[in-house]
Amino acid sequence: MLEAVIFDFDGVIIDSPPYYLKHMKKYLHALNTDITDEDINHLVGYPFTQKIQYLNKTYNLNLVREEFVEKTSEEMNKEMNRKIKCPANLKNLLNELQENGTELAIASSNSKNNVMFYLEKFNITEMFSHVVTLDQVGSPKPAPDTYIEVMKRVGKKPEKSVAIEDTIIGVEAAVEAGLKAVAKPNKFTLNHDFSRADLIIKNFEELTVKKLEDLIE
């Protein structure tokens, strides 16, 4: 029996990468025009701290997390709040999983406040029994800490559970924690090596309870 399905947040529940990257590029290109789109795009999925460390080292910058977030987040959040919608068929899938007796939770590298804001906006907060974010664990993905913690909280067997991720680092984190993994790439991660994923989908319309159950048999 499928015991739990754990959802990543950015790129899975909300299509945030295009907004993050748009406003990140605007800020960074003002500081150093040598920064390439490719360099920024490959940072999708990593927490702010790791993004800043990479950019500081690669481009000899002196970015500070607090200033970086402040300069990029206000306009980005306004645009996201205005434009982002709940993914097609997500609510149907969540309802079907609940009817199936499957526990639902979130394992995210975002902040708890951001995650809860959009869960409430989409009116799906109550569908998830637990929300585990980066500020509650030791190491970010691809370390398995986030999934280890969420599985501890839901009290289900990892080998009977499935994670849904949009990046290779997320898939690696889930697999290392013992879960099966579904990859749902966003447009910036289509070229990631998802060979460790058990299933690759384009959207939630392609995903059913039966397909998820088949992964653990």
Residue-level pLDDT at 68 = 84
Q: What's the chain's Rg over C-alpha atoms? A: 17
pTM: 0.92
d(CA 107, CA 8): 5
Three-state secondary structure call for residue 159 = helix
Please name which of 49, 47, 53, 28 lies closest in space to residue 38, comparing C-alpha atoms.
28
**What mean pLDDT comes out for the span 176-201?**
95
The proportion of the chain whose per-residue pLDDT surpasses 90, expressed as a percent, equals 71
Q: Quick check: 47 pLDDT over 80?
A: no
Q: Quick check: 45 pLDDT over 80?
A: no
Handedness of CA 121, 126, 127, 132 (dihedral sign): positive
Q: Quick check: 48 pLDDT over 90?
A: no
Strand stretches in 46-160, DSSP E: 103-107, 130-132
pLDDT in tens, 5-40: 999 999 999 999 999 889 988 888 888 878 877 877
